Amino acid sequence: MARILIVDDSPTETFRFREILTKNGFEVIEASNGADGVTMAQAELPDLVLMDVVMPGVNGFQATRQIARGATTKHIPIVIVSTKDQATDRVWGKRQGAADYLTKPVDENQLIDVIKHHLNAG
């Protein structure tokens, strides 16, 4: 069973992601901010990370960059899931090391398809 790390400061979003992921057979671990997300990724080595962008302290772009460039975590695909839907945000997200970029509110089927794609690609 693949383990997905959700990094989001919104309890509502985290709850929704957890519901979708557990229903689809994934194990879920959570972090409520970017700094904790990086720490959790290093400690738990999840199979994939769902990363919010707008968070206090270390934002999602910074956390993505740290995970994507970390020696022990660089193999983990990161899917940014954000309310920011400008083309520049997508480009910047990919430049930080994100494997994919989805906008909220996320379509459940699209989310699962993207996750499965990146898990199978790895």
Percentage of residues of the chain with pLDDT beyond 70: 99
2-34 burial, b at 16+ Cβ within 10 Å, e below that, comes to: bebbbbbbeeebbebbbebbeeeebebbbbbbb
Two structure tokens written together for 50: 């769902």
Question: From the centroid of its chain, how far is CA 87?
Answer: 18
What are the distances in angstroms from CA 18 to CA 23, 69, 94, 95, 97?
A: 8, 26, 24, 27, 23
pLDDT tier, 122 (very low <50, low <70, confident <90, very high otherwise): low
Place of tokens 């990146």: 118
* pLDDT given for residue 47 in this prediction: 98
Three-class DSSP category at 81: strand
pLDDT at 11: 97
Q: Mean pLDDT across the chain, nearest whole number? A: 96
User: Residue 8 corresponds to which tokens in the numbers above?
Assistant: 């989001």
| pTM passes above 0.85 | yes
- Strand extents, DSSP E, 8-116: 27-31, 48-51, 78-82, 100-103
pLDDT class of 42 with cuts at 50, 70, 90:
very high
Residue-wise pLDDT for 70-110, tens only, equals 999 999 999 999 999 999 999 999 999 999 999 999 999 99
Of 36-40, 45-49, 85-89, where does mean pLDDT reach its minimum? Answer: 85-89
Amino acid at site 18: R
pLDDT band at 121 (very low <50, low <70, confident <90, very high): confident
Mean pLDDT of 13-31: 98
